[in-house]
């Protein structure tokens, strides 16, 4: 059975953190992907310029 979260009771900061955690992890993974992509694309451009 699915667990039900009551957002009207308990610590508001804990509830907000639980709601925001998936978005935070998604943003961090997207940023890591973009940084890695920029690094490799930058290296390919340097290698292409050197070979010509």
Q: What is the pLDDT of residues 8-26, one digit of tens each?
A: 888 889 989 988 999 999 9
Asked whether 7 and 15 are in contact (CB, 8 A), the reply is yes
Per-residue pLDDT, 51: 61
Q: Over the chain, what is the mean pLDDT?
A: 85
pLDDT band at 45 (very low <50, low <70, confident <90, very high): low
Asked whether 5 and 19 are in contact (CB, 8 A), the reply is no
């Amino acid at each position: 059975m699915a667990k039900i979260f009551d957002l009207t009771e308990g610590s508001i900061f804990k509830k907000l953190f639980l709601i925001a955690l998936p978005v935070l992890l998604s943003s961090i993974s997207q940023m890591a992907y973009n940084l890695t992509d920029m690094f490799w694309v930058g290296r390919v451009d340097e290698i292409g310029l050197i070979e010509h």
